[in-house]
């Protein structure tokens, strides 16, 4: 019998090892499938715009004043660095791959630090593998939401580094505080809503108010000062606060009368819906939901069966309290704006249900408080508010779901800390099984992989001939800038800059054609443009179509040998013909 039991144990160990190896191999293959197109030059459509502004900076133009885009300046500086060092997108593309690849590596390193001295080889291998696989799931989700070389990728990377620094090193000395401040500058400088994300993450990681103050509030204040100094040194102070922020706060932030931002903060259901219904790999949504529901367990690091039931019940009720608050707020605001009589039987019933739900929730909180668990449930609920606000700040565009990724990263950090100490490893073992199941069954969607491979057409290499031919034409005719409509992808790597500030007007319709930026752009083109570049078969956007009558498709002698240029229709100002050789 001992021999038989030993054989069974050995066979089971081999089976588990094979499953883990297959899962790890599948994860590596999935990462390769999303990184391979980026390594071959894939660029998201928005990324080509960043490179145009990066080139503009190298040409002496100013972001927002001369070339406007709805992003903070850090991404433009990265593209300028890539252009000045390689002449192409390769620095930015390599940074994109490294940023995404770092997430599973950072989680695995954190797991190793937790069990390296006290755990067995099997424990170290198990926890590091589990952490790595969670990171892979976060990376795959992030990539499908943002695409290749997007600001949200780098913001997520720096936000996760900041949160990892808090989890790994609770020192409050000035070197640690300064490091956190620099990481906050980098994260928020990529996209401002990351300030909400890191706030939520720091809230989950903090042991008490004192640590939260030292790990988030003080570094944030220093980060604000450093950011202001950076804007002043770069000369972007006035354009950032005078042009960019008013445009973003006044037009880009969705000001729905029915669902304003403070109401959207309670719409955690939309986050869950995006993870489980909209996202093809719905298993990841279940993993995230479990990590959030069991957050009080991860923080308390102990729970008997009764406490576990209290934790699950409290988190589930808390979710429905948030959801019901959002639903009722939207309903009452809509009724108020419509001047409707909302005090009907339906409303009384729903309000009664809400009160019953609150009573049940407070009862569970009371029972949790006796076990010292209630504060963790409330913190988990509170942390969802800034996350819901961040992803919904501009009306839930696809790439903004990436703002929640550092939140998922923090949930993984807290789970790893718990799993390193749990004995026996029952709950963490079940979570590992769910993660393995998700990695095996799910991967990047076919639509996303198709888009990534299609985005290779936006690379510098794919458009090198067009850009070189176009630059030759402008140089031969002594033209410095051009007016372009719908050609930003083809001319992203041209050495000449477009006339702005609105050089891709179809992307800034939210401003309205009566916005001063549109007016200034129209005047600049009318006054200074000597060439008008269009996609073949297209016309300029909106009001700019009235400018076409001032141009002709008959080229001057200086341009003839460079024409035609693939996919481009180049028009020349009629009044300039007399001055052209």
DSSP state of 278: I
Which tens digits make up the pLDDT trace of 105-144?
999 999 999 888 776 777 888 899 999 999 999 999 999 9
The stretches in the chain having pLDDT less than 70 are 1-6, 9, 119, 251-252, 254-255, 339-347, 576-581
What is the pLDDT, as a whole number, of residue 1?
45
User: Cα separation of 258 and 455, whole Å?
Assistant: 37
Asked if the structure places residue 58 within a domain, the reply is no
User: Range of 553's domain?
Assistant: 464-579
What is the pLDDT, as a whole number, of residue 341?
64
Tokens representing 448 are: 């996303």
What is the pLDDT, as a whole number, of residue 193?
94
Asked if the structure places residue 527 within a domain, the reply is yes
In sequence order, what E strands does 353-432 have?
Answer: none
198 touches 163 (CB < 8 A): yes
What is the pLDDT, as a whole number, of residue 579?
52
What is the pLDDT, as a whole number, of residue 578?
47
Tokens representing 553 are: 């498709």
What is the pLDDT, as a whole number, of residue 344?
59
Distant-in-sequence contacts of 524-530, Cβ < 8 A, 24+ apart: 524/499, 524/500, 525/483, 525/499, 526/550, 528/481, 528/499, 529/481, 529/482, 529/483, 529/499, 529/573, 530/477, 530/479, 530/482, 530/572, 530/573, 530/576
Asked if the structure places residue 176 within a domain, the reply is no
Q: How many CB atoms lie within 10 A of CB 210?
A: 10
- The rounded percent of the chain whose pLDDT value lies above 90 is 65
Asked if the structure places residue 9 within a domain, the reply is no
Asked if the structure places residue 540 within a domain, the reply is yes
- The number of distinct structural domains making up the chain is 1
Asked if the structure places residue 254 within a domain, the reply is no
What is the pLDDT, as a whole number, of residue 119?
65
Asked if the structure places residue 537 within a domain, the reply is yes
Tokens representing 456 are: 């290779």
What is the pTM for the complete model shown? 0.93
What is the pLDDT, as a whole number, of residue 497?
95
Angle formed at CA 307 by CA 303 and CA 308, multiple of 5 degrees: 75
Which tens digits make up the pLDDT trace of 407-452?
999 999 999 999 988 777 789 989 999 999 999 998 889 999 999 9
User: Cα separation of 386 and 392, whole Å?
Assistant: 10
493 touches 93 (CB < 8 A): no
User: Cα separation of 471 and 469, whole Å?
Assistant: 6
What is the pLDDT, as a whole number, of residue 577?
52
Asked if the structure places residue 296 within a domain, the reply is no
99 touches 149 (CB < 8 A): no
What is the pLDDT, as a whole number, of residue 345?
61
């Amino acid at each position: 019998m001992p021999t038989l039991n030993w054989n069974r144990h050995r066979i089971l160990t081999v089976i588990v090892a094979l499953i883990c190896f297959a899962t790890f191999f599948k994860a590596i293959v999935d990462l390769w499938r999303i990184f391979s197109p980026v390594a071959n030059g894939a660029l998201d459509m928005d990324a080509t715009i960043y490179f145009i502004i990066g080139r503009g900076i190298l040409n002496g133009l100013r972001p927002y004043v001369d070339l406007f885009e709805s992003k903070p300046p850090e991404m433009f500086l990265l593209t300028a660095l890539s252009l000045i060092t390689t002449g192409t997108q390769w620095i930015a593309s390599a940074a994109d791959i490294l940023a995404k690849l770092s997430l599973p590596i950072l989680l695995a390193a954190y797991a190793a630090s937790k069990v390296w001295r006290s755990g067995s080889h099997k424990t170290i291998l198990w926890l590091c593998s589990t952490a790595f696989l969670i990171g892979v799931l976060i990376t795959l989700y992030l990539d499908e939401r943002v695409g290749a070389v997007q600001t949200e990728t780098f913001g997520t990377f720096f936000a996760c580094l900041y949160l990892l620094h808090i989890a790994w090193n609770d020192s409050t000395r000035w070197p640690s505080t300064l490091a956190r401040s620099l990481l906050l500058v980098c994260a928020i400088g990529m996209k401002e809503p990351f300030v909400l994300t890191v706030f939520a993450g720091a809230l989950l990681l903090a042991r008490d108010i004192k640590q939260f103050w030292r790990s988030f509030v003080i570094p944030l204040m220093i980060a604000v000062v450093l950011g202001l100094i950076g804007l002043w040194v770069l000369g972007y102070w006035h354009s950032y606060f005078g042009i960019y922020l008013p445009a973003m706060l006044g037009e880009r932030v969705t000001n729905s009368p029915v669902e304003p931002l403070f109401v959207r903060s309670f719409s955690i259901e939309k986050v869950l819906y995006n993870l489980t219904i909209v996202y093809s790999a719905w298993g990841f949504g279940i993993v995230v939901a479990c990590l959030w529901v069991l957050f009080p367990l991860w923080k308390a690091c102990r729970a008997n069966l009764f406490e576990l039931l209290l934790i699950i019940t409290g988190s589930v009720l808390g979710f429905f309290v948030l959801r019901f608050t959002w639903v009722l707020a939207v309903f009452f605001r809509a009724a108020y704006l419509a001047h409707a009589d909302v005090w009907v039987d339906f409303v009384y019933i729903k309000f009664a249900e809400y009160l019953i739900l609150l009573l049940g929730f407070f009862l569970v909180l009371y029972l949790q408080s006796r076990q010292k668990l209630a504060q963790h449930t409330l913190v988990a609920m509170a942390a969802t508010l800034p996350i819901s606000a961040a992803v919904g700040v501009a009306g839930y565009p696809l790439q903004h779901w990436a703002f929640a990724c550092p939140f998922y990263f923090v949930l993984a950090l807290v789970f790893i800390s718990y799993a390193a100490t749990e004995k026996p490893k029952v709950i963490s073992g079940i979570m590992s099984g769910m993660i393995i199941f998700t990695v095996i069954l799910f991967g990047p969607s076919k639509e996303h992989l198709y888009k990534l491979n299609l985005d290779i057409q936006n690379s510098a290499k794919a458009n090198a001939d067009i850009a070189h031919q176009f630059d030759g034409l402008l140089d031969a005719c002594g033209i410095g800038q051009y007016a372009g409509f719908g050609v930003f992808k083809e001319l992203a790597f041209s050495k000449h800059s477009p006339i702005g500030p609105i050089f891709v007007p179809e992307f800034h319709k939210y401003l309205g054609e009566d916005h001063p930026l549109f007016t200034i752009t129209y005047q600049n083109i009318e006054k200074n443009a000597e060439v008008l570049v269009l996609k073949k078969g297209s016309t300029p956007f909106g009001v700019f179509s009235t400018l076409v009558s001032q141009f002709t498709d008959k080229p001057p002698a200086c341009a003839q040998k460079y024409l035609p240029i693939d996919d481009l229709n180049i028009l020349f100002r009629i009044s300039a013909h007399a001055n052209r050789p």
